[in-house]
Every structure is written in structure tokens, then in C-alpha cells.
Structure 1
Amino acid sequence: MLLSKDPLLRNGHLLAVSSLASAGLGAVFWALATHWYDDEIVGVSYSALSMTLLLAGVGQLNLNDFLVRFVPSAGHHTRRLILTCYAVSAGVSAMAALGFLLLVPMIAPELDFLLTPVTGACFVATTAGYAVFVMQDGALTAVRRPGWVVAENLVFACVKIGLLGLGAVLALHSGILASWAGALAVSLLVTNFVLLRRAVPQHVRVSTVAERPKGVLRYASADYFGSLFRMAAYTLVPLIVLDQLGAEQSAYFSLAWIVGYVLYLVARNLGSSLLVEAVRSPGRLVEHALRVLRHTTLLLGSAVLLVVALAPQILSLFGAEYAEHGTTLLRLLALSSLPNIIVSIAIDSSRARRRLRWAVGLQVAMCVLVLGLTRLLLPVMGITGAGVAWLATMCLLATPLLIWRTRWLTAVPGRSS
């Protein structure tokens, strides 16, 4: 991908590269996992990791997007803002993980292997660590260091693959989960050294403003409320599949979702770049949003064509049975990423304008539609029903957004911290 000199597109492209690289190495990770571990272990491990992501998403209070929104104008308050967000999110995520472990016997008995002292402690620590991991992406993006977002994800992915192999050699039942925990620790240490010792001081030196933004608690509360529904839509579907169809079908769904979800991440990462630049140049929000829309559509349009055409070959990397059961699902997920571009840009434009009614409403509607349609369609169509649910949801949301685009795509009249 040829990188533009324009920070809007350059940073967005680098974040997209990060997602693509993570997806590629993630595919390698899960391909190796399916060959080195039983399908049941893969399915249950993925469900446990999905729960980690959900709890970290709940516990980090959407402070990653908060950092993207407010760090560009924070000046010498930047370091304190980042560390405060780290402490709050890690603490809340750890408490959420502890609460989940107490409820495992009642709501997720298939994850009872997490209830041993060592495994439980690792689960709590990994959940807290992953909340910080997500936020450091937001902090790096906000200080215009997306290259380090690429680097941290490469470190995380490569260490994770190495530890996965070690777990297989040692025949660890929890080898998949242990590899995530170990890689997470390495990535956090390396990335935060760069962020706090180099990137933040440079950001402070070149900042022309050092504002204490007003109304941040109200903004953060509303943004967090909406993000919970978006996170639930992304992370609860694997648990619904596990509950209704069992561990084997959960494994087939999980691998297709991993590949399809990266297309959603590309749109979201380009949206993060839009948000950073909109804060720096509020009057150019409409111009920037339209440019991101064009570039994202061209980028994802090509990617979707490839995924739709090569879906069987992609899934066969994990095993013939994954291609047999997941090809149609993957194609539907890929197609759903195109209308998601409109939804993602609408959410980030609303954040930039600090008009969160659209952002919250869209995320609530997404969650209700995806989870409702998934529960309705799984018994009839199997895991393919989840793909139909995502495609239908995104089309239902994107269509009115296009029709009434002047309602949400408007300029910010002046600097808005």
C-alpha cells in the first residue's frame, strides 16, 4: 500500500496495515492451533478469549476512543491523561473478570477450567492487560505514531505464535490462552516504553495548545454507553454460537469471524484517523469524512472481492472441515463490511462533533439487530445464519444513513476540545 504524505490518509493506511498484518499473523496462529490442538480445545479457548475481549471492552470504559478524541489537544496534560486512563481501565477490567469467574458455574459451565487458582489469576491479569493493550493503540494513534501500532501488533502476534508452539510441545491444555497472556505482557512492556519515554514527550513539545477539555465526563459516559453495545455485538455472537450449536460449530464460526472481522477493523482504524484529524482541524470534518469514505470503499472493495473469491482456500488453511462449514459465512461477513463503512464513519463523525446521539443510537441498533437475528437464524441456518444477521444489520443501518447523510455529516464550526 502506497502511503500518502497527508496525515489523514497516511495514519489511516498505517492503521489499516496494522489490522491486515494482525489478521494475517492471526490466521497463522489459529491455523497452527487447529493443527496442534483438538477442535474442542480451539472452540472453548476461542470462547474464553472472546470473554476476555468482552470484559476488557467493558472494563476499559471506551477510554481508547476517549484518548483518540482528547489527547491531540491535551498538550502537557497528555502523560497524566494516558496513565489515569490506564489505571482506571485496568482496575475495572480486573473486577469485571473476577465477577465473571464467580458466575462461570451458572452462565458458562463449559469454561470451568478457568476456575483453578493459577488459570483464574492469569485470566484476570490478561483481561486487565488487554484493556491497556487496546488503549495504547488509541494513545499511539492520538499522538500520530501509527507506525508503532503496526510494530506492537507484530510483536504481539510473533511472540504469541512462538508461545503457542511451546505450549503444544509441553502438551498444555491451556496453551492457546497462555500464549496470549505471555505475548500480551511482552507487547505492553515494549510499547509503553516507546509511548511514554519518546512519543508523548515529542507530542508535548510540538503541541500548540494544552486544553483541559470541558464536559469530558458526560462525553465519556455517553460514548462508553454506546460502545458497550458495539462490543457486545462483536463478542457475544461467538458465545451464542457455542451455546446453541456446540464447541465444534463454534470453532468453525470463530475462524471465519477472525478473517471477516479484520475488514471491520480496517474501517474502524481509518475512522480513528478521521477523528484525530477532525479534532486538529474541526472545519474540515466533512472534507475529511468524504475522503476517508472514498479511500475505505476502494480499499475494502478490492479486499472483499478477494475474500469472496478465495474464501474456501483461505479457510482450508485451518483444515478442510473449516472450508466446508464456514465458506458461505465468511463471504457474508466480507460483504457486510461494505455497508459497515458508512456506519463506522457516521459514528466517528458524531464523536468528532461531540454529538453522540447518532453514535449511541447506531451502536444500540447494531447490537439489538445482530444478536436478535443471530438467535433467530442459527437454529434454521446454522452458523451461516450469523453471517446473514451481520449483512442484514449493516444494510438496514447504512441505507437510512445514506438517505439522511446531511443530518450527521456536518462541519464543526470551530475548535472543540
Structure 2
Amino acid sequence: MTFTRSVTRLGMPARVAAIRRDPLLRSSFYLMLTMTLGAAAGFLFWILVARLYPAADVGRASSLIACVYLLSYFSLFGLSTTLVRTLPTSVRPGEEVSTAVSTVSACTLVISGTFVALLPWTAPQLNFVHDSPWRVVAFVVLAGAAALNLLTDSVFIAFRATRINLVINGVLMSAVKVALPFALVAAGPFGIFLASGIASLVAATASITMIRRSLRVHLRPFFSWGVLRNTLRYSLTNYAASTLNLVAQIVLPLVVLERLGPVPAATFFIAFQIANLLNSAAYAIGEALFAEGSRARAHLPSLARRSAGTMLAVIAPAAAFVALLAGPILGLFGDEYARDGTSSLIVLAASALATAFYAWTSFLLKVTRQLTAMIAAEVVSVSVMLGITVLMLDSGLVWAAIAWGLGNLASGSFAAVALVRSKLRHRTAPRRHRYRQPEARCENPAHRQHRQ
């Protein structure tokens, strides 16, 4: 019997005690709660926005916000993943975190500034950012805040301090995000962007404060090339994999915007945000699996089984619920969203299991450092998603949702094959080294004395 099943058969006090004792379940719980509160706040945010702003403004703003998420992940250069892997055993956490913060800040300035400069040619629908200089400055600053907020999340995960992350991202950021749309209606689509961006700025500021005060990490303006160089290959590989994954997520709404127009783009974005309530649980459990697997590789098989069972137990019933009530849920945003987006939401809800499968296998590849397979799996995902979208989108909006599900399923299947092949190689490895063990035990007495 797995640990997850045994926990479900306990009484409520025993369940709580079991979760508190198990780092994987405890981190998963706080991360899922954080993402659920964040997604619920996003759900309410987009309901308010859909009621307060025209659908065309929602379509343009949602695409701009999606671009900010893409830029912020680009600016991380894989350092968020590296921090989760290295901080638990680091002897100089202050230097590592400070170097990461300085690097990400500089990269965001360059990347977001370049994006704004190229907007008139790359995305004319978003050219309202150029209406005034302060909008350009605000865009760059808020893009940087979004990147830093993502980076600091990794610090809390690495130190098993996800409860702090819950307070900051789940409560504080959500409250700010929901409160601001009312005050920014006059700014049009840029007002929607400001409401989201200012919430990220508040969360990033609070996170840096708590890292210094609660985690006692000496965070300061500092950069060390030596610190960065030690993990550069691992960081850049994760950066490439994350970039490929995010390209599909962000380019998909942009393709819908350019091919079908702002109203279908708004419909797809709202449906995708609802589906992210389901997907966030898979990523939360995957992050906990990665953090705990980085600490104790010997327990990885058990961690993998427990995390898979937890994903299935959480996501399957939730996906069925969303699929059954897709129409009424979208009706909360407006009749046009329910009329045009119900089929897409049903497909996206069904695809939550494929997304969970992809998340589980991709995090296992990160733990086991199968860097080449990790990149290849992301190439498969992007190729399938964008290929289906480009070929079939003119037949209906639902094909964007179908492309998302099939891309995740294809990527997860590729990663699973890589994991099985790696496991088979490791099974045969001990046999090759078995006859070398007696030699290893015959050590030089001088070496033994020196070691003592």
C-alpha cells in the first residue's frame, strides 16, 4: 500500500499529522494551496475584468500579460531551478541568492526593453504600451518584478519554507490583484496589465524582505562569476527547456489573437486560466518532488510513486468537475465566453491529466539530470502544439485546446521512455561494478590514517 493511500484512510487529525511529518506532502500541500488561492484570485480577477472592460480590451491585455510571463521566465536563465537544487546543501546561500537576483534583474532590463522596442513590428495589437513614456518604463519595471517574484519562490521551496510563500503569493498578492481593476478602468487594456503587474511588484518586495528576515539569508546587491559558473551548464539547460515550454504556452494565445482576433483570444485565455487551476496542482506537486528528490536521491523511487499517486488523486476528480460544469463556469464571465469557449474548456480540463503526466516526467528528468532528454521532450511538446495550432486553428478555437493536450501527452510519453531507458541502464550498472568492490575495500593504510 502506498503512503498516499494509507494517509487517505486515516482520520482528519492523523492525516494532518502525516502531512506535517512528510516533507513531500507538506510542501505539496502549501504549494497547491498557494497556487489554488492564486488561481482562484486570477479567476475572480478575470471575472471582474470581463465585467468592467470590453472584450477587445481583455483580449489585448491578456496577451500582454502572457508576454510578461514569457519575458520573466526568459530572464530567469534557469536560475530558479538551480537554486532549488543547490541551496539545501549550500555553504554560502547569501552569495548564491544575491548573484541570482542580480543576474535576473539585469537580464530582465535587457530582455523586456528589447521586447518593448520591437512591439510595433512583432505585435501591433499591443502597441498601446507606446502611448506614453511612463507606460514603457512601467512595463519594464513590472516585468522585472514578475521575474524576481518567480525567483524568490524557488528560494522558499529550497528551504522548505513554502508556508511563507503561501502568505505572500497566496494571500497578499491575490488581495492586491483583485482590488486594483476597479481603480484602473480609465486606463483601458493597460489598466488590466497594471493591476496584474503591481500585484507582482508587491509580492516580490515582500518576498525579498522575508528571505532576509525569516530565512536569515544575507541578500544584497552582489554578483559573483565564480558562483554563477559552477552551475552554468545546469542552469542554461533548464533555461532552454523552460523557454521551449513557455514559448508554446505564450505563443498559443498570440497565434489565436492574430489569426482569430481579440474576442476569441479573450475567450481562449479565460478558458486556459480556468484550466490552470487544475494544472497548478500538478506543477506544485512536481516542484515538491524536485526539491525533495534533490535532497535525497536514494529515496527517489518512493518519492516518484507518492507524487504520482497524489497528482492522480487531486487532479482526476477536479478535472471531471470542471468538464461537467464548463458552460456554467464560463457563464460567470459573460454569455459570449460560455457560447464560444465551452468546448475549449472541456478539452483543456480533460487535458489536465496529460499535463500532470508531462509535469511528473519532466521533474523526474530534472532530478536525475537527464538534460538532453529534457530538452528533446520540450522540442516534442512545442512541435506538436504549434504544428496542430497552425494547421487546424482556422477550423475552430477548440483546436488550440486540442493542441495543448496532445503536446503535453507527446512530451510526457517521450520523457517516460527516457526515464525507463535510464532505469534499465542503472539496473545493469551494479553488475558491471560488482567485481570491483573488493579492490575498493583494499585501501592503503596511509590513506586510512590520513582520513582518520
- Partner amino acid, structure 2, of 1:68: V
Aligned position for 1:272: 287
Runs of 4+ in 1 over 3 A off after TM superposition: 170-173, 212-215, 397-405, 408-413
Check conservation: 1:56, 1:131, Cα contact below 8 A: yes
Change (3 A) 1:186 1:284: same
Aligned position for 2:204: 188
Distance 1:9 1:214 in 2: 33
Distance 2:140 2:79 in 1: 19
Aligned position for 1:165: 182
Q: Pairwise mapping of residues 89-238 of structure 1 onto structure 2 (< 5 A)?
A: 89-115=104-130, 116-153=132-169, 154-168=171-185, 170=186, 172=188, 174-201=190-217, 215-238=230-253
Aligned position for 1:44: 60
Aligned position for 1:371: 386
Change (3 A) 1:199 1:121: same
Q: Pairwise mapping of residues 30-69 of structure 1 onto structure 2 (< 5 A)?
A: 30-69=46-85
- Partner amino acid, structure 2, of 1:164: P
Distance 1:145 1:409 in 2: 32
Aligned position for 1:336: 351
Distance 2:264 2:326 in 1: 17
How many residue pairs get aligned? The number is: 401
1:297 and 2:312 correspond: yes
Distance 2:230 2:94 in 1: 20
Of 55-64 and 36-45, deviating more is: 55-64
CA-CA distance at 1:50 after TM superposition:
0.9
Q: Structure 2 regions of 5+ residues with no counterpart?
A: 1-11, 219-226, 430-452
Aligned position for 2:86: 70
Distance 2:198 2:238 in 1: 31
Aligned position for 2:400: 386
Check conservation: 1:349, 1:409, Cα contact below 8 A: no
CA-CA distance at 1:407 after TM superposition:
2.2
User: CA-atom RMSD, angstroms?
Assistant: 2.2
- Partner amino acid, structure 2, of 1:325: D
The superposition leaves residues 216-269 of structure 1 with CA deviations (integer Å, 9 ceiling, x where unpaired) of 111111111111101111111111110100111111011001111232222112
Change (3 A) 1:317 1:359: same
TM-score of the pair, normalised by structure 2: 0.84
The superposition leaves residues 353-396 of structure 1 with CA deviations (integer Å, 9 ceiling, x where unpaired) of 2221221111121111111111112111x220111111222333
The superposition leaves residues 18-65 of structure 1 with CA deviations (integer Å, 9 ceiling, x where unpaired) of 111111111100000011111111110111111111111111112211
CA-CA distance at 1:400 after TM superposition:
5.0
Aligned position for 2:40: 24
CA-CA distance at 1:299 after TM superposition:
0.5
Distance 1:136 1:9 in 2: 21
- Partner amino acid, structure 2, of 1:26: G
Q: Secondary structure at the match of 1:34?
A: helix
Distance 2:240 2:418 in 1: 24
Check conservation: 2:41, 2:177, Cα contact below 8 A: no
Change (3 A) 1:103 1:402: closer
CA-CA distance at 1:214 after TM superposition:
8.8
Distance 1:287 1:89 in 2: 34
Check conservation: 2:252, 2:389, Cα contact below 8 A: yes
CA-CA distance at 1:143 after TM superposition:
0.7
Change (3 A) 1:375 1:194: same
The superposition leaves residues 341-361 of structure 1 with CA deviations (integer Å, 9 ceiling, x where unpaired) of 222122211211222122111
Change (3 A) 1:346 1:70: same
Q: Structure 1 regions of 5+ residues with no counterpart?
A: 203-211
1:79 and 2:91 correspond: no
Change (3 A) 1:96 1:32: same
CA-CA distance at 1:108 after TM superposition:
0.8
Aligned position for 1:397: 411
Change (3 A) 1:321 1:92: same
Change (3 A) 1:150 1:408: farther
Change (3 A) 1:36 1:365: same
Change (3 A) 1:105 1:133: same
TM-score of the pair, normalised by structure 1: 0.91
1:360 and 2:375 correspond: yes
Change (3 A) 1:329 1:200: farther
- Partner amino acid, structure 2, of 1:94: L
Distance 1:97 1:379 in 2: 31
Distance 1:151 1:224 in 2: 28
Check conservation: 2:378, 2:411, Cα contact below 8 A: no
Distance 1:213 1:113 in 2: 37
